[in-house]
Amino acid sequence: MSLTPTLELRGLRKAFRDVVAVDRVSLAVPPGQIFGLLGPNGAGKTTTLRMIMDILAPDEGEVLLFGRQRRREDLERIGYLPEERGLYRKMTVEDHLAFLGELHGLGRADALARAGRWLARLGLDAWAKRKVEELSKGMAQKVQIAGTVLHDPELVILDEPFSGLDPINQGLFKDLLADYQQEGRTVVFSTHVMEQAEKLCDQICLISHGRAILAGDLQTIKRERGGNFYRLVASGDLERVRGVAGVEQLLPITAGGGHDGAAVRLRLAPAADGAAVLRRLVAVVDVREFSSEEPPLAEIFVQAVHDAE
C-alpha cells in the first residue's frame, strides 16, 4: 500500500511577465524521505519552494500538504529556511528564537524552553542573553538552523541550506537531517551542488528551465541510467579508445589508476553490449580492468537535460 505523500505538487506554473520560472512541475514527496529539488541557479527551485510556502501564488496548479489541499494552518507544521537568511540583530539570541517559536503557535514559556535546549545542543547556551549582532557568522548560522526546527515541524523545507555554511556547520546540518529522517519526518531541500544531493537524498527531482525533467528514487535512477557507464583501467594509447565501436564518450578520472595503467570512464552507446566492446578494446589497448559503473549524479543531470531538449 502506497503512503500518502507529505507534499505533492500538481502542474505548478509561475510566470513573471514573459518569463516562465516554473513550467507545470508535478512531484510527490513520500513521508520520511530526504527529497532533493536539484538544478542550476535560475532553474526555478526557489520559486517552487516559495509557492509551496504560499509566499508566491501559482498561476496554475495546486499544492497539497499532508494529503489535502494546502491550508494556511498547515504551514505551522513546516520548518522553512529561505535562501535569503535573516536574523533580528538587536534581539537577544533566546528572544529571537522564542519569537520565531511564537510565530508557529508556541507559548512563550514553551518557546523559551525549546530555545534553551537547542542552544545547549548547538553549544551556544552561554550566548543566550547576548544580542544576535554579537554572534560570529558561524554562530549566526547555528541560530538560523535552530530557528528553522524549533517548533518541531513535520516537514522541513530548506532553500540552498548549505550555501555559505562553514564545514563544521555543514556537518551539523547533515547530522540534523539524518536525525529528522530517523524520526520519520520529511525533508525537502534545494541545491545546485549535485555531490551534496547524491550523499543525502532518497528521492530527487531535477529541474531545468523551470521544467521537471527527471524525478524519482535516486538509486533507481542511477541504476537505470548507469548501465552504459564503465570504468576502464588500461595502458597504451587511450586516445585509440575513442574510435572503438560502441564507445560514445571517454571521460577522464582524476584518480584511480595505478602502475598498471590509467583510469577513464566510458559511456557506451545505448544499444552497445559491454562484452562486445571489451573484445574490441583489448585489440587497441592493454586492458587491466573493465567494470560497470554508476555515473555521478552530475553526469546524469547533464544527460537528462540533453535528452529533454
pLDDT tens digits along 240-273 = 999 999 999 898 875 555 556 789 989 898 888 8
Nearest to 269 by CA among 223, 228, 232, 231: 228
CB 37 within 8 A of CB 45: yes
> Which CATH superfamily is 7-222 part of?
P-loop containing nucleotide triphosphate hydrolases (3.40.50.300)
All three cell numbers of 228: 552504459
CB 188 within 8 A of CB 155: yes
- CA 1 to each of CA 4, 145, 216, 303: distance values in angstroms, whole numbers, following the listed order: 10, 35, 18, 33
Terminal alpha carbon distance of the chain: 36
All three cell numbers of 219: 538509486
Neighbours of 126 (CB within 10 A): 9
All three cell numbers of 99: 519569537
Determine the pLDDT at residue 83.
83
Domain boundaries, the chain: 7-222, 227-293
- Which residues in the chain come in under a pLDDT of 70? 1-2, 226-227, 254-260
Determine the pLDDT at residue 255.
54
Query: Residue 97, class by beta-carbon neighbours within 10 Å (0-12 exposed, 13-18 middle, 19+ buried)?
Result: buried
SS3 257: coil
Kindly report the CATH class assigned to 227-293.
alpha beta
